Amino acid sequence: MLRISILALSMALAACATTSGDEKASAMPETAAAQQAPAPATPAARAAMEQRPPLERATFWTREYELNPADKQAATEFSRALRQIGNPEKAASVAEQALALYPGHAPLLLAFGSARLEEGRAPAAIDPLKQAAAVAPGDWRPWSVLGIAHDLMGDYPAAQDAYRRALQLSPENPRILSNYAMSYTLSGQPAEAERLLRKATAQENPPAEARQNLALVLALQGKFDEARNLSLIDVPAGTAAANIDYIRSMLTRTRSWDDMRGG
């Protein structure tokens, strides 16, 4: 596509036409303004995006990334935003391209591994997540996501080890505790899962998923009344009752926890 520089065009016109000094002076600010490229958002504006809804964050970081694809923060946050609005394939592509420029950047490695995980490619997520954990040894997040990846692969001991490592870096973190508990649920240890989930839900402002996971674990152990009461905190009464009745029917059909988890 042919592109003509506004500055070059104005210089050519100046050479062919006679203009007064005042006319030239008045034209220069317009030329400079036309040449000025859009500036990236300020650090304060970027920080404020953390609290905005996912779609708004995606729009914001799309602009920042398009202004400069080599911007590490923009690439990381754009990948994260894409993943949160349901486009993990594009999220993985953005992070992978940026990693070609910054191969040891921990946030990009975490973004890439998380996107691979949400693509349904848990084995492909393991290596970048391990690299992120090695590059940023004080960050709990790579270990927490590693735990999820191992759970999805059915390697529950490795998953639980990853969650323990995450908890060493972020003790009592309710999100880690919730995922850790569900790993015990998947491996057929609902009593241990219940212990961890009660610890998670006892904290101030626990995430809703911790309560819902506890309700699930309680129902799996036949504690239906407590499970239903807990579910009512976050879901309508009819939905809570239907969920508990469904679990009750599953337990009745399968008759044992081992059957429930597929052997």
User: What DSSP designation does 104 have?
Assistant: T
Structure tokens at 204: 């101030």
- Give the whole-angstrom CA distance, residue 198 versus residue 182: 12
User: What pLDDT score does 21 carry?
Assistant: 44
* pLDDT, average across residues 193-204: 95
Of 66, 68, 116, 67, nearest to 95 by C-alpha is 116
Q: By CB neighbour count within 10 A (0-12 exposed, 13-18 middle, 19+ buried), where does 109 fall?
A: buried
Torsion on CA atoms 84, 201, 206, 135, rounded to nearest 10 = -60
User: What confidence tens digit (pLDDT) does each residue in 135-188 have?
Assistant: 999 999 999 999 999 999 999 999 999 999 999 999 999 999 999 999 999 999
User: What confidence tens digit (pLDDT) does each residue in 47-83 have?
Assistant: 999 999 999 999 999 999 999 999 999 999 999 999 9
**pLDDT of 6 over the 50 cut:** no
**pLDDT of 261 over the 70 cut:** no
Torsion on CA atoms 3, 7, 10, 11, rounded to nearest 10 = -110
Q: In angstroms, what CA-CA distances link 260 with 97, 130, 181, 217, 249? A: 42, 32, 17, 12, 11
Those residues whose C-beta lies under 8 Å from the C-beta of residue 81, and which sit 6 or more positions away, are 54, 57, 58, 60, 61, 62, 91
**Cβ atoms within 10 A of the Cβ of 138, count?**
6
First to last CA, the chain: 62
